[in-house]
Structure formats: C-alpha cells, structure tokens
Amino acid sequence: MPLMTGDEYVRSLQKIKMRIFLFGEEIDNPVGNPILQPAVNSVKATYDLAQNPEYADLMTATSNLTGEKINRFTHIHQSPDDLVKKVKMQRLLGQKTAACFQRCVGMDSFNSVYSTTYEVDKKYGTHYHDNFVKFATYVQQNDLTVDGAMTDTKGDRSLSPSKQADPDLFLHVVERRPDGIVVRGAKAHQTGILNSHEVIVMPTIAMGPDDKDYAVSFAVPLDTEGLMMIVGRQSCDTRKTEGCQLDLGNSTYGGMEALTVFDNVFVPNDRIFLNGETEFAGMLVERFAGYHRQSYGGCKVGVGDVLIGATALASEYNGVEKASHIKDKLIEMVHLNETLYCCGIACSAEGQPTESGNYLIDLMLANVCKQNVTRFPYEIARLAQDIAGGLMVTLPSEKDMAHPVVGPVIRKYLAGPAKVDVMDRFKIMRLIENLTLGTAAVGYLTESMHGAGSPQAQRIMISRQSNMSAKKAMAKHIAHIKD
C-alpha cells in the first residue's frame, strides 16, 4: 500500500483493541482521550510530514527489502547518508511538535535487530534474520508504527535476571512449544506504546549462560492477548482535561509512557528473533543503545530550537531583549544545542556497514552524543527559566483570565511592553513552562537523562571504546619511550 496519511494512521489505530489503564480506569484505545490524544497527534505528524513533498527527502526512503518508497521510521539504514538524514528528520520533527514523537525507539530496534539476527543465524543456522526480514517487510508495506521495548523493571539490580527473587522482574520465556513460545514479564517507560501497531521486544542487558530464558527478542501486535499497558503520570497532565488551551503551553502535541505487562503472551515461531542465544544479548543491547543515543542528537535539538525561540520571544515580551547578558545567554543556548547536533551528525557520518549490510553509527561518538544530552538540555532549560522570569510559574489560569472581575486585572498588572499583546506574553510563558516543567519536560529533560541508558552506561561504553592502549602508544612514540 502507499504511505498512509495522518488521518489514515489515526483510523488504523482506532481499529486496535488494547487494554489500557489510565487514572484507575480501563480504556481500549487512546484516540479521543484528552490525556492521550496529544501523543497520538505527535505520531500523526510523522505521517503528515511524509506526505509533504518539501520534506520527502528526510521523511521517506527507498526500502532495501521491497524497492518501494517507505516512511524513514521503518527503514533499514543503507549508508552514512541514511544515518545523517535520520538525525535531520528527528530535528525537523522536534521543531514541528516540540514534543516526543515516539517512533525513534522502533526505528532503532529495527536496525539493531536486523544486523544482530544476521550474525546469530551465521553462527547457529537459525532463521531469526529471515523472520525479521519478513516482519520488517510487512511493517513497511503497511506503513505501521512499531514500538521498541527494552527496559525491564530489573528488581534487585545487583542480581542477574535468573537470580532475582521474582523471575518475572525480567521478561522471560516460561514455556517453549512446537509452534512458539510463551513469555511473561514487563517493560517499563514504554514511549509511544499506545500509539503503535506492533511492539519489538529485546533483552535489556548482556547475559550469561544461566540467563538463557531471558535472552529473547520478538514482535507482537498491540492487541495480543495478555498485553496490558498502565499509563504513567506526567507533570501537569490533568490540565488536558480542564478545557483550557492556554494553560497547556502546547495544546496540540505531547508524549506518553506506559508500563507494559506481558502476562503469558504467546509468540509464534515466525515472530521470534532471539531465543536463548545469550552471547548475542549484549550485542543487541549495545547496537540498540548506540542507535538510540544517536537519535538524541536530533530530537532533543529540534525541541531545543523551539525552546530557544520561545526564550528569545520571552525576552522581547519582557522588554529585555537588548540587554547584553540576555543576548549572551541566548548565544550559549544556541551553542549548547548545536553542539548536540554536531555529535549526532558526526556519529552518523562515521557510520560503517555491519555484516548484514545495514549501517551502524560510530558507537564511541554516539555515546559522547548522549553523554552531552544528559547535561546540555538541563542548562538550556535553566537559561530559559532565567530569562523568562517567575511569571512562568505564577501565571493565573486561563479561567481566571476569562473571569469578568479578575480577568481585566490580570491583563492590566501582568502586561509587558505596550507593543506586546499581553495574551501573547502569557502563551510564551506557558510554552516555556510546558517544555521545562510540564508534560513536555518528561521528553526533553528526564528522557535526556535516562533515555537510552543512564549517564554511567554511556561512560562505561566510552571507556571500553576509547582505545587507551593506542593513545599510550602514540604518546610513547612522540616521547621516544621504548617498551
């Protein structure tokens, strides 16, 4: 089929009967729910922009599997140029939505599973790569959204999966049948799971021989029996139910996370991509983490662009745009944001082919990219709050502004320069609040810290990939030191 439109995507999502728990109530679909609809809109944007000829080069690609035009979010990277375009696409979407658009995890799982299954098959004569190619072709031909599920709840983190007091704290195989496997466990912090058609499950850490049942990867549709999603809370989330557009800051777009439970879920053989080959769990985790750490050099930069623009407007609406220290702080925000982008582009441009033929980013530079992402957005947000001022968090509600008695009072005393519409000033304050403290801060700040692994995980990878022995040899050569 051709690329879906955004409206066709929404209709396709409405056909999926899910089991979703939100604020103590069970619902069967996210479409139309006031809390969840902004997240649906963000994914919808990835379909709408793919239909726009202006963005076709970034938003679409030619499939190596079918030769057809596909959405880049379902693409298997074929060159460093593909990797660079991925980052540029993510920046574009961050600029357009100022929110998490939720498809990056699926795209990154696609490429890590593609190359890893090829190498598992090469060693063991399994058919995981064939299974995945069949699945990827199905996804591409139907233009589906796929979520990636890696993070287990982990329980006692000092213990391996097989040594946990409760074996379900890491997702694992509980039964092997002639026609497939049965799995049980949960995946936490699942970005966009409710807005997806399918989910790819992967192991969360490198594993030893005793963890065979936990070294599992597969894909299932979101209406699979035994799947249950429990939506996580976000700061200011219930504002979406109050009917006050101004108080939201970003009333159109948003993100969502959920704890996803797999309660004796059956997976047929042709949907299995890893099943007990523990030595390949670490490879899959490392490659996925690398791709996803690259992603942050695009999406967070795009959202950062919006925040910087909002901060510049706030300085104008406060009447301080000509102050030298304000100009310098805005320059620093741009400098930090573009540094993140440099890292995302660099690790992409240095990408190399895997044995399967798809391209993997430079893992060292991808980890450096994400290490910077754990810091720079926080400084950008701090500077935004500095320039915006306290009104960002003390502004009365939209309902107060509409009140016949206090509304005029608010507009009188909270006005800025005479040339500035006071309501425009309020809108920008709410947008900065949303990006740095509200629902969008989940994606822009907390996810910058913990998404794609903790800061320490990146430092471990940087240490492993630093090739310190070669650096020592260089120094010895220059200093004329002989071993």
Q: What is the pLDDT of residues 405-440, one digit of tens each?
A: 999 999 999 999 999 999 999 999 999 999 999 999
Those residues with Cβ within 8 angstroms of residue 136's Cβ, 6 or more apart along the chain or in another chain:
65, 74, 76, 110, 114
Please report which confidence band the pLDDT of residue 483 belongs to, taking 50, 70 and 90 as the band edges: confident
Residue range 231-239: average pLDDT?
Answer: 95
Average pLDDT taken over every residue of the chain: 97
Q: How confident is the model at residue 220 (pLDDT cuts 50, 70, 90)?
A: very high
Q: Is residue 64 over pLDDT 80? A: yes
Per-domain residue ranges of the chain? 6-279, 284-474
Alpha carbons 459 and 464: distance in angstroms, whole number: 9
Asked if the model's pLDDT at residue 481 lies above 90, the reply is: yes
**CB of 91 within 8 A of CB of 306?**
no
DSSP state of 5: P
> What residues are annotated to the active site?
100, 104, 191, 257, 292, 296, 299, 447
**pLDDT, tens digit, 9 for 90 and up, residues 150-182:** 999 999 999 999 999 999 999 999 999 999 999
> Residue 437 phi/psi, 5° resolution?
-135, -25
Q: What is the pLDDT of residues 125-157, one digit of tens each?
A: 999 999 999 999 999 999 999 999 999 999 999
Q: Are 104 and 297 in contact (CB under 8 A)?
A: no
The amino acid sitting at 85 is: K
Q: What is the mean pLDDT of residues 326-349?
A: 98
Q: Which pLDDT score is estimated for 412?
A: 97
**Is the pLDDT assigned to residue 380 strictly greater than 90?**
yes
Tens digit of pLDDT for each residue in 436-473?
999 999 999 999 999 988 899 999 999 999 999 999 99
Residue-wise DSSP of 214-227 = G-EEEEEETT-TTE
Q: What percent of the chain has pLDDT over 70?
A: 100
Write down the residue that tokens 């969502």 correspond to: 256
Q: What is the pLDDT of residue 471?
A: 95
The whole-model pTM stands at 0.96
CATH tag, 284-474? 1.20.140.10
pLDDT band at 1 (very low <50, low <70, confident <90, very high): low
Structure tokens at 304: 């950062």
Residue 192: exposure state from Cβ atoms within 10 A (0-12, 13-18, ≥19): buried
User: 179 is written with which tokens?
Assistant: 């026609």
Give the DSSP H or E segment for 131.
Answer: helix 128-142
- Mean of the pLDDT values across residues 236-254? 96
Give the SS3 label for residue 435.
helix
pLDDT over 90 at 10, yes or no: yes
For the segment 358-379, what is each residue's pLDDT rounded down to a tens digit?
999 999 999 999 999 999 999 9
For the chain, state the CA radius of gyration.
24
With CA atoms as reference, report the closest residue to 443 among 455, 435, 453, 433: 435
The domain over range 6-279 is classified in CATH as 2.40.110.10: yes
pLDDT score recorded for residue 137: 98
Q: What's the CA gap between 322 and 327, in Å, rounded? A: 7
pLDDT at 480 > cutoff 90: yes
| Dist. CA 158–CA 344, nearest whole Å | 32
